[in-house]
Amino acid sequence: MRMQRIVLSLALAACAGGDPRTEQQANAGDGSDQPAADPAADPAGGPASDPADPSKKPPRPPKVMCADGNGGITLPTGFCATIFADNLGKARHIAVTPKGYVFIAVQPSMPGAADAHVVALFDADDDGVAERQATFSDVGGNGIAWRDDQLYVAANDRIVRYKMPDGQLMPSDPTPVVIVSDLPATPDHAAKTVVLSGQTMFVNIGSASNSCQVANRQLQSPGVDPCRELETRAGIWSFDAARSDQTLSCGTRVATGMRNTNAMALEPGTGMLWGGINGRDQLHENWPQFFSEEDDRLKPSDELVAVTENLDRGWPYCYHDATAKEMKLAPEYGGNGVMRGRCASVPSPEFAIPAHSAVLAVEFSRGTQFPEAYRKGAFLSNHGTRFDANATGDLHGYDVEFAPIADGKPTGELQKFATGFDAGMRPLPEAAPHRPVGLAMMPDGSLLIGDDKGGRVWRVFYTGAGK
């Protein structure tokens, strides 16, 4: 069964949070004449796309002067990129309004720093470069989403909401409303992602460890069985987006066994939630009797999956073996690289992403600016492996891929779309000038790609001629 809208009832009734309100009350504007997004047109709350007409070429962008060398990345023939903004710091996820106002969550510059914030951008003359810029908030972090004149920002331990009518760079009130607080925020995976579907707010809560060992990331330490982390982490939870002062107990867990689903997005048309999962590490390092260094480079897969009701992807007990194309039993739970055991009933993911690519964002295509081949599916940003420091050839990550999807199902294989973020520099990841994270479609269907290493944001257009 496809999961489109989660009904929150019993969990909210038992929650010691603020009084629930109707979505209209929660999203009421300030009386300004600002159009709201039409949820019926696009379940993700973005601008509705016109039906594609295969007989017509995509419109060429007006007044765009693409950057020399596409700002340091390589794109398919017919595409080019501008540098939409630069030097933004640790720019993570991106939200775009129907009028083209862009908001980016920025992480602290270093652990413990108090400089997290949100940066707002607007390309007033639509030339592919943001002329207007503003910063606000002391929350910042990783996740961000806009819907119906409200901007939601996800720090590691809480989700807040600002009143942000479309057409403004700054919130109407600088003091945010706390929607959820006291979320688990200890390592390993503290960053939160937020996705809105109607009155439902989906939040990723990553695992606190690599593989739920008794001693995290230690040689041959066994796994805790059952893994107690799964009660509060390693899954996706839903909350009422219109209610304030919630805690984790107010939420409903809608998927589990997902080590770190930093990448989440809704598929237009179906409303289905998709998640990109970061697979485990250290098969060879912790279990050298079963796995070689080459095994560690190729296994396990990162995953892109459709989030169906009661989904359980099997972490920490299972991992996806990309070479065998099946789920295997983790060594912490008795596996030896061959055994399937309790994992035989867990299906392979819809898309197996190369190991340790570190998929951090997923964004479904919208609009008509891109050609037909890129209008049905999702773009994935792969932050880049922490392995293969001096790698040559085909890297794991440091790229953006395209996953063809229609009506909730894959229709083809993963395709490289944007590459070169590492610029051939070694060792990785330290020497890479850029590492892609945030993705967002502009109202016309051009694509924003953000980077948390150099703080750059590209805007990718289809021009019909290579550059």
pLDDT tens column, 215-236: 999 999 999 999 999 999 999 9
> Residue 387 gets which letter from DSSP?
S
pLDDT tens column, 57-96: 565 566 888 999 999 999 999 999 999 999 999 999 999 9
- Beta strands at 351-353 and 200-205: parallel, antiparallel or unpaired: unpaired
Where residue 17 falls among pLDDT bands split at 50, 70, 90? low
What's the pLDDT at 439? 98
pLDDT tens column, 155-184: 999 999 999 999 999 999 999 999 999 999
User: What would the two tokens of residue 340 be?
Assistant: 């399937």
Sign of CA dihedral 367, 369, 375, 379: negative
State the alpha helices, DSSP H only, in 255-411: 283-286, 293-298
User: What would the two tokens of residue 387 be?
Assistant: 């392995």
What's the pLDDT at 62? 61
What's the pLDDT at 392? 74
pLDDT tens column, 400-426: 999 999 999 999 999 999 999 999 999
Work out the burial of residue 191: count CB atoms within 10 Å of its CB; fewer than 13 is exposed, 13-18 middle, 19 or more buried. Answer: buried
Q: Is 25 helix (H, G, I), strand (E, B) or coil?
A: helix
Backbone phi and psi for residue 332, each to the nearest 5 degrees, phi listed first: -65, -20
Which helix (H) or strand (E) segment holds residue 10: the answer is: helix 10-13
Minimum mean pLDDT among 25-29, 57-61, 319-323, 328-332: which range? 25-29
What's the pLDDT at 61? 62
What's the pLDDT at 465? 56
Cis peptide before 300 (omega within 30 of 0): yes
How far is CA 346 from each of CA 113, 127, 222, 261, 320, rounded to the nearest angstrom? 41, 48, 21, 17, 9
Nearest-angstrom CA–CA distance, 14 and 306? 29
Beta bridge partners of 302: 353
Nearest-angstrom CA–CA distance, 432 and 419? 12
Structural domains for the chain: 10-462 (2.120.10.30)
361-393 burial string, b = 16+ CB within 10 Å, else e? Answer: bbbbbbbbbbbeebbbbbbbbbbbbebbeebee
Nearest-angstrom CA–CA distance, 451 and 301? 23
Backbone phi and psi for residue 466, each to the nearest 5 degrees, phi listed first: -65, 155
pLDDT tens column, 117-164: 999 999 999 999 999 999 999 998 999 999 999 999 999 999 999 999
* Average pLDDT score over the chain: 89
DSSP letters for 157-206: S-EEEEE--TT-SS-SSSSPEEEE------SS-----EEEETTEEEEEE-
pLDDT higher than 50, residue 42: no
pLDDT higher than 50, residue 366: yes
Cis peptide before 35 (omega within 30 of 0): no
What's the pLDDT at 188? 94
Beta strand extents in 338-421 (DSSP E only): 351-353, 359-364, 377-382, 399-406, 409-410, 415-418
Q: Please tell me the pTM assigned to this model.
A: 0.89
